[in-house]
Structure 1
Amino acid sequence: MPELRTYLDTLLRDRERLAAATDLDAWARSETPPPDGEIKRIRTLIRRVETDLGGLTDDEREQIKDATRTLRKTRAVSLGMPGIRPPEPDLWLERDA
């Protein structure tokens, strides 16, 4: 739920920033805001999850909290994948002739 709420807040904030921007071309103002359908889907999903959570027992809610904690821990783990380094500069190109 926190991630869904954060995503919804980001969509709404982006939409408001674009609406308030005064230096945008008309095409940018009409093409770049988050789609209303996406905002509606996220709001519907949040309401649905809240309703479903409301019908659970305390034990079921605790199981969901435990599963969520486990997922967050595994997401935070680094897999040790190597990063991509930027290419080293070609020093020959930087010398004066």
Structure 2
Amino acid sequence: MAAVINGRQPELRTYLDTLLRDRERLAAATYLDAWARTEATPSEEEIKRTRTLIRRVGTDLDGLTDNEREQITEATRTLRKTRAVSLGMPGVRPPEPDLRLERDA
């Protein structure tokens, strides 16, 4: 089976890992004011909802037939390919520095 079935929602797990890492990093940041730390720290509710969603999706996947799992795997593969397509949007580069030497006469 593909990663979505075997790996159990890798994007959700990555998101949860990011929330937990951010929470720990912000707790250790002694240079932040308390209000800034509070505003930037992921809420316990968000972490709990993400964990619940991961468990729920895993349980739902366990109840699927092999055919249904294959359909989900194919749909996920297609979605990931679509997301990877570049739209060719131009990037914005910083201005080039002026490297001319200024000399006094």
TM range (shorter): 0.7 to 0.9
TM-score by length of 2: 0.74
Aligned position for 1:46: 54
Give the Cα separation in 1 of the matches to 2:38 and 2:11. Answer: 27
Percent identical among aligned pairs is 81
Aligned position for 1:29: 37
- Shift in Å, 1:36: 1.5
**For 1:20-74, what per-residue CA distance to the aligned partner results, in whole angstroms no more than 9, with x for missing partners?**
2222222222222012111111111111100100000111111111111111111
With over 3 angstroms needed to count, the CA separation of the structure-2 counterparts of 1:83 and 1:29, relative to structure 1, is closer
Kindly report which structure 2 residues correspond to 1:1-97, keeping only aligned pairs within 5 A, or say none: 1-84=9-92
Give the CA RMSD over aligned residues: 2.1
Q: Which runs of 5+ in 2 are unaligned?
A: 1-8
Higher relative contact order (CA 8 A, sep 6+): 2
How many residues align structurally?
94
- Identify which range, 62-71 or 17-26, moves more after superposition: 17-26
- Shift in Å, 1:79: 2.0
Give the Cα separation in 2 of the matches to 1:21 and 1:85. Answer: 32
Q: Which runs of 5+ in 1 are unaligned?
A: none
TM-score by length of 1: 0.80
